[in-house]
Structure 1
Amino acid sequence: MLYRKITWLVCILFLQTSILIGQTTFKNPVITGMNPDPSICRVGDDFYLVTSTFEYFPGLPIYHSKDLVNWKLVGHALSRQSNNPLMGASSSGGNFAPAIRYHDGTFYISCTNYGGKGSEGVFYVTATDPAGDWSDPVWVGNWFVDPSMMFANDSLYWISPNNKGDFSVGTFDPNAKKFVEPLQLVASGLGGASPEAPHMYKINDYYYLISAEGGTGYEHRSVIQRSTSPYGPFEPSPYNPVISNMDNPESPFQAIGHSDFVQLQDGSWWLVCLGIRPIEGNYHHLGRETFLAPITWTPDGWPIAGDRGVMLEEFPVPNLPEHIWEKESVRDDFDSSDLRLLWNFLRNPHDTDWSLTENLGYLRLNGSKISFREKDSPAFVARRQTAFNMAASTKVNFTPVAPNEEAGLVIRGNDENHLSLVITMRDGKRVAMYREFLKGDEKDTEVMEISEGDITLRITASESQYEFWVQEEGKPAVSLGTSPTKVLSTEVLNGFTGVYIGMYASGNGSANTNPADFDWFDFEEDLAMPYKWISGVEESVDHGNSSGN
């Protein structure tokens, strides 16, 4: 016992002093932008991670890493219309809280689809290659959120919460696609609000059941309990929470929780979880992101993550060879026949709304009658905003013939809240328009008459402000408006998503007469300062590699 206590103290001292003496460290979050509810598994020397996508398509991105720090998007588990029913899903509906596991050559992802037409609630999909293709959903037969799986004792255990904050376990036969032992109540939450996100692990002689509590806000945390049987009884850890920043209001990271464990090749354990980066008080607009922390085991066999349960900005790197992926280029020229994996649609896209082949070298959006006001899929191709300081821009050719027709750039918070910079028509003239659509109503608008031809639209951002720029060919750029970023924050909008930014076209009730052709899209992030313009020429433009994960 004395040896185990000494080992525990040495681990704590090592974690604290290694940062102080300058050992190589990594910075959190490890996956930026809206990537909540991370779940992870290891296969040999490879790590795979999945996060929630809610109403966005394709769903459930699969990230690949070899060092736990640097991650590359390699595919989506729900990339087909047939395995991802989203039409009709509300904002923050759709697919959330997936869990990824691997067993005997097959990857499994369990998840819940809420609100999509044709959804039957809880499901799982399988693949032999995590990059895809993944199967169609196997519907499990209930609507409880945050299901998970554990392979142990030659069985597949299904772990499920219910709407009363209790956790149930049963065994499932993936060949027969049915339960062998039905779900039975085995444990309850440990006192916090909204117990959810259970994951179970068999480690040595114990079954550990980790879960999230405290809701999705600033009291979010991960807690753990254990038993010598997967069916209980379970005892709570005396060291709970496993990780949380709820008692550290000065930290730049808050709402830390919803965790999953992974064991490295050297036997050490690590934790991934979600968290937020609020600004200007308690406002966060990038969404919940993915964080990483080491796990230390107490002498009596309980896990504590981070720095004594606190998520820090930096930790010593895992004991793994560094593996940095080639970064995505800043510019997408739309020269491929396929969209990059980073692009998403809103709900299930309509095939006639977009094309990379109708005008080669361009992304063509055929604006339909659908706008953001319907629970449908407008012509909207977007990506996560993955950094506070960023510039997103595009060159577009679009000729409206009526005031209802528009195309350009949009930052979307949810169905009732977005900021747009579009080309449209007013009083018979072609104009660029900045518009705030907030709480379901059109707010401030600014209009600028523009000439025929290509127009460059750009949105720049600092932590606290967006700015909207218009540039005609051969002329200086003009700022058309600004908006606080917090108007699209979760604290204002509610829900579970972060902002998306992308290209859009709509006839707002009737189809556009002409298509909108987008020549390129640039996304520059982690800029040292908000973007500047000098005599119509952008400063420090580099269309090579970006600085994100």
Structure 2
Amino acid sequence: MIKVSWFTLFILFVFVGCKTETARTYENPIIRGMNPDPSICRVGDDFYLVTSTFEYFPGIPIYHSKDLVNWKQIGHVLHRPENCLAEGAYSSGGNYAPAIRYNNGTFYVTCTNYGGKGSQGAYYVTATDPAGPWSDPVWVGNWNVDPSILFANDSMYWISPDNKGSFMVGTINPETGETITPLRLVASGQGGSSPEGPHMYKINDYYYLMSAEGGTGYEHREVIQRSKSPYGPFDPSPYGPVITNMNHPESPFQAIGHADLVQLPDDSWWLVCLGIRPQGGKFQHLGRETFLAPVTWTEDGWPIAGTNGMMDTSYVVPNLPEHKWEKAPVRDDFDAVTLGLDWTFIRQPYGNDWSLTGRKGYLRLNGSAITLKEMDSPAFVGRRQSALNIAASTKMSFTPTADNEEAGLVIRANDANHYALVVTQKDGKRVVKFRRVLEELLEDEIYTAIPDGDVVLRITATPLEYQFWVQAKGFETSLIASAPTKDLSTEKVGGFIGVFIGMYASGNGQANTNPADYEWFDFEINPVVPYVWNNDQE
């Protein structure tokens, strides 16, 4: 008989327990809904990340994280009309491809603006607090796009594509934006279409120039080259793309690219990038989202991200203490003095179109003559659809006095494509109407009579379908219509943005007589289905 000491059993127990412990992982994407072109920087133990917003206002959300996995929006870089020139921007124009960097107590965000009234192409803004306030734009050039910067050698290097498939580098005065060393051609792309989104890093003895190519579609990829000088000559990586999913059609993630690198305190490296989640084939409607992948380095000093250069669904978390933020509430009851950071407008809003003080505890929209089909700013307050399975609901008070007046909920893809569920008037009777507008053409209109008084409007979504519901007090919930998500997908409507869901009012050519008052707005992820409203729930 073999005798085993208690100490030996204890050691075996600990060893087996350690071997069977499951490593903590995270799921991609890390920031969901329309958050394309991510750029990241680290300041001590804090990480900051920005993404594109195009024609939406305020522009460029800025997110904060302590662990690279859990993110909280802390503000907007372009938070006022003077530094967010969105007025007149065409859909998918405006502000895009930002890059964030930090140097000697100051944050810098470079960006491109085309189409906004007063825009002059490429610019940067600065702040000492990433939550703001941020400066007015310092314009650098009206012809270069997707700029980025590198602080090295006591200089501020400006990196930009030249719109001809190559990249240019020069230096500028960080205080004024004036040229010190003129931009000059330093490298070309690596064979893919539309070389863009360059970032430069000084790592050990090399300057690495990383960029995206292959367009923003299914051949999107991130490539890299390096040199001993920021001005070249640059040699491409012999290992191919840093990351791409273009050769993996089976993956739920596609269009992986437009990336940025960040180094952790433990000297490990990570990569953030954009990607899409197609549904029902090649149809993605949420927009390009933000993904995270670990980076490994070859023995000869080249980075490869993800799983052998492919973005996967999950990875072991970075070597950082977990830091979760307080979960956002489902309901916004509009009791605050300002709108929450989730809310955005289409271009620069008109001050008289919305109010949190016109009726205390309500969001009031004063429907103007402007409609969703115009390249202008209608009375609209919306937010990104940030999950495939959601429910968006609101309780609204609105009394139309003419057939042209309407207010309700909208799913917007761009100026030419939207679904609407609105209260209006038809032949002198109050009704709720579902409308589908595709490529500026009215495809469907469905009317249902409703009584006077407040109504609850609700839009539910699955990966493939939207459903539109209404309930008046004392009545059962009614399904008004359904519509496919793919008709609002980028593959159908074009452009670079994802869908937004929000509240809207318009007189379709003239102002509404009465305001629309929204008592609350609920945004539920993975809602309970079927859902039954209780008229006394408030």
Q: What TM bracket, shorter-length normalisation?
A: over 0.9
Whether 1:215 and 2:215 are equivalent positions in the alignment is yes
* Alpha-carbon separation, structure 1, partners of 2:195 and 2:47: 27
* Alpha-carbon separation, structure 1, partners of 2:163 and 2:172: 21
Partner secondary structure for residue 82 of structure 1:
coil
* Alpha-carbon separation, structure 2, partners of 1:312 and 1:297: 18
Instruction: Spell out the pairing of 1:217-296 with structure 2 (5 A cutoff).
Output: 217-296=217-296
Partner secondary structure for residue 496 of structure 2:
coil
Whether 1:533 and 2:514 are equivalent positions in the alignment is no
Larger Rg: 2
1:20–1:504 distance in 2 versus 1, CA, 3 Å: farther
Whether 1:445 and 2:445 are equivalent positions in the alignment is yes
* Alpha-carbon separation, structure 1, partners of 2:323 and 2:66: 6
Partner secondary structure for residue 81 of structure 1:
coil
**Could you tell me the percent identity over the aligned residues?**
67
Partner of 1:77: 77
Q: CA deviation at 1:537?
A: 4.2
Q: How many residues are aligned here?
A: 520
Whether 1:401 and 2:429 are equivalent positions in the alignment is no
Q: CA deviation at 1:22?
A: 3.3
Instruction: Spell out the pairing of 1:360-439 with structure 2 (5 A cutoff).
Output: 360-439=360-439
Partner secondary structure for residue 380 of structure 2:
strand
Write the letter of the residue equivalent to 2:531: W
* Alpha-carbon separation, structure 2, partners of 1:177 and 1:273: 28
Partner of 2:3: none
* Alpha-carbon separation, structure 1, partners of 2:526 and 2:235: 45
Contact 2:263 2:270 in 1 (8 A): yes
Q: CA deviation at 1:293?
A: 0.3
1:21–1:311 distance in 2 versus 1, CA, 3 Å: farther
Contact 1:19 1:315 in 2 (8 A): no
Partner of 1:484: 484
Partner secondary structure for residue 117 of structure 2:
coil
Partner of 1:465: 465
Contact 1:417 1:438 in 2 (8 A): yes
Write the letter of the residue equivalent to 2:158: W
Partner of 1:475: 475
Q: CA deviation at 1:175?
A: 2.0
Partner of 1:14: none
- Higher mean Cα deviation, 22-31 or 56-65? 22-31
Q: CA deviation at 1:19?
A: 13
Whether 1:199 and 2:186 are equivalent positions in the alignment is no
1:196–1:367 distance in 2 versus 1, CA, 3 Å: same
Q: Unmatched 5+ residue regions in structure 2? A: 1-17
1:338–1:220 distance in 2 versus 1, CA, 3 Å: same
Partner secondary structure for residue 326 of structure 1:
coil
Q: CA deviation at 1:145?
A: 1.4
* Alpha-carbon separation, structure 1, partners of 2:183 and 2:268: 32
Ranges of 4+ aligned residues in structure 1 off by more than 2 Å? 18-22
Provide Cα deviations, 1:113-166, integer angstroms capped at 9, x if missing partner.
Answer: 010111111110000000000000001122321000000011000001011011
Partner of 1:109: 109
Contact 2:255 2:275 in 1 (8 A): yes
Whether 1:184 and 2:196 are equivalent positions in the alignment is no
Partner of 1:3: none
Whether 1:25 and 2:22 are equivalent positions in the alignment is no
Provide Cα deviations, 1:193-212, integer angstroms capped at 9, x if missing partner.
Answer: 11000000000000000000
Partner of 2:512: 512
Write the letter of the residue equivalent to 1:136: D
- Higher mean Cα deviation, 18-27 or 399-408? 18-27
Partner of 1:356: 356
* Alpha-carbon separation, structure 1, partners of 2:534 and 2:460: 15
Partner secondary structure for residue 487 of structure 2:
helix
Partner of 1:13: none
Write the letter of the residue equivalent to 1:533: Y
* Alpha-carbon separation, structure 1, partners of 2:248 and 2:63: 30
Contact 2:138 2:176 in 1 (8 A): no
Provide Cα deviations, 1:493-540, integer angstroms capped at 9, x if missing partner.
Answer: 11000000000000110000000000000000134x7x3234x549xx
Whether 1:57 and 2:39 are equivalent positions in the alignment is no
Relative to the length of structure 1, the TM-score reads 0.93
Partner secondary structure for residue 487 of structure 1:
helix
Partner secondary structure for residue 82 of structure 2:
helix
* Alpha-carbon separation, structure 2, partners of 1:390 and 1:372: 23
**Superposed CA RMSD:** 1.4
1:474–1:19 distance in 2 versus 1, CA, 3 Å: farther
Contact 2:400 2:430 in 1 (8 A): yes
* Alpha-carbon separation, structure 2, partners of 1:251 and 1:373: 35
Contact 1:19 1:25 in 2 (8 A): no
Contact 2:403 2:425 in 1 (8 A): yes
Contact 2:405 2:507 in 1 (8 A): yes
Partner secondary structure for residue 182 of structure 2:
strand
* Alpha-carbon separation, structure 2, partners of 1:279 and 1:197: 26
Provide Cα deviations, 1:72-120, integer angstroms capped at 9, x if missing partner.
Answer: 0000000101111111111100000000000000000000001011111
Relative to the length of structure 2, the TM-score reads 0.95
* Alpha-carbon separation, structure 2, partners of 1:514 and 1:537: 27
